[in-house]
A and B are shown apart, each in its own frame.
Chain A
């Protein structure tokens, strides 16, 4: 029996995860809970009192939760794609060990992407459970949004893997986290409708895959109309993922096959 080589990478990731999963419990469960309590219930109570038509009738919590599901998938994907690639090349150096076996750089990348997909499915499902517990949406609909949230995450995972394979200094990584992740998160449309933003910012936000993911998840869970057609939304996320994948494959080869 000949198992595809990239699945061996997934298997290795899983074996390491079995040793390190405790650290991820906090972000998987606590992040959605904290955000929904603080923003959804705390801030939401204030907002709902001042009835905001833009949010629809369901209230702020129901508006926030689906968007946050997509934005959380983005955050998970960014962390899980960037540091493993960076340390695989530079610190743990496990990529160098792996390429001296029959594995190729493409196997490493495919394996990592499959692994992140699995993680995103899990994290998004956990989010769906939290949504249901908070009464922020139906469980069935929240589950249906899991693939959309996962795709949103993947649209970030592959470009971030490419970026992490490309950077030469850890400080560049840290700067990226500091100056682009937080704006991406805040201006994803998860916390407020982007129509509230100054006109010149709107088209910039629309370029971010996060906004497309938020729009999709809100459509599925809350039933708000999609801003663009479903194929445009899905196509944009898929195209971003594909472009990132291509760049990551190229960068990994460049860094490791020298």
Chain B
């Protein structure tokens, strides 16, 4: 059996009366990309900070790299890489100096940092910006630099909290591409995200979190198979037409979700459903056929959308 890098059992985090993380169980194996998917406030960041050995669990069992974060925090943090959600780079310093400063916190020798920094800047495509100040860099570049910074100590586990939140689509794809590359190289990734496409692209396995609890666990594929249908029809109607159409829709669907702006029709064969709806006099103003995603899984499990 493969040894788990991180094990949480009955792990909870409370802030006063508020329960941010409510007795969750999970295991993260070496070499996998593991995701915590859920909306804002689901308890993902609190979980990350506990794994990162900077936040004491309120109760439950937590082992990171085989150690207790509250006892061996310094040792654990020395072997982790952390990519925070917020940009906390040293703005006064250059790109290279940021890596140098951070590397020194791990007591790395300067020559070693220089070698590693050159490699990492190449990897995140910032070699040409090595000596420029951090302030004028774009959001995507800053995020890539934070990723490089998190990798300076060759961590066994890289923790990424919302790695592409706030980036434009193009910058997101560059970050995904780099993270995918890391995964190929065998770096264990722990990712929190509220983007279902991010989770699908990057995660081998994930847990879906809602209100501090884990509501499902598995690979993106298996979660979709288990909790959703193959296809989804998204139908939009004129104001009055929707109520009349609903009873008919239910006859062609395995399941429906009646959202404020559209009706989601879950079925294993969307083409056939479209024809049957049309034959029964249902004519939406727009029809979109797509495959099920983790968004649908989340909707099914919680009755809510990931991004509201």
Contact = CB atoms under 8 A, between A and B. Distances in A.
B78 interface: yes
B92 A256 contact: no
B8 interface: no
A180 interface: no
B84 interface: yes
Contacts, number: 69
Given A5-B105, A257-B56, A97 B97 contact: no
A11 interface: yes
A39 B266 CA distance: 83
B91 interface: yes
A256 B93 contact: no
A3 B74 CA distance: 14
A93 B88 contact: yes
A20 B88 contact: no
A102 B86 contact: no
A33 B55 CA distance: 48
Interface in B55-112: 55-56, 73-75, 77-78, 80, 82, 84, 86-93, 97, 100-102, 104-107
Contacts of A97: 84, 88-89, 102
Contact of A104 (B74, B82, B84, B153): B74
A103 B53 CA distance: 11
Question: Chain A CB within 10 Å — which of B80, B87, B105 has the most?
Answer: B105
Contacts of B105: 5, 8, 12, 98, 101-103
A15 B93 contact: yes
Interface string B100-130: 1110111100000000000000000000000
Contacts of A20: 92
B25 to A, nearest CB: 23
A12 B104 CA distance: 9
B93 to A, nearest CB: 6
A31 interface: no
Contacts of A49: none
B43 interface: no
Given A16-B90, A19-B93, A102-B78, A2 B104 contact: no
Contacts of B77: 100-102
B52 interface: yes
B222 interface: no
B82 A100 contact: yes
**Chain A interface SS verdict (over half):** helix
B84 A16 contact: no
Contact of B15 (A19, A93, A258): A258
A173 interface: no
A94 B15 CA distance: 23
A101 B53 CA distance: 10
B54 interface: yes
Interface in A72-116: 92-94, 96-104
Contacts of B93: 15-16, 19
Question: Chain B CB within 10 Å — which of A93, A99, A256 has the most?
Answer: A99
Interface string A218-258: 00000000000000000000000000000000000000111
Contacts of A96: 84, 86, 88
A19 to B, nearest CB: 5
A103 B107 CA distance: 10
Contacts of A103: 105
A100 B76 CA distance: 10
Contacts of A15: 93, 97, 100-101
Contacts of A99: 54
Interface string B165-178: 00000000000000
8 contacts: A2-B107, A12-B104, A92-B90, A94-B90, A99-B54, A102-B75, A104-B74, A258-B15
Given A19-B93, A101-B78, A101-B105, 10 more contacts: A12-B101, A15-B97, A20-B92, A92-B91, A93-B88, A97-B102, A100-B77, A101-B102, A257-B55, A258-B49
A-B pairs, 5 with minimum CB distance: A101-B105, A93-B88, A100-B82, A97-B88, A19-B92
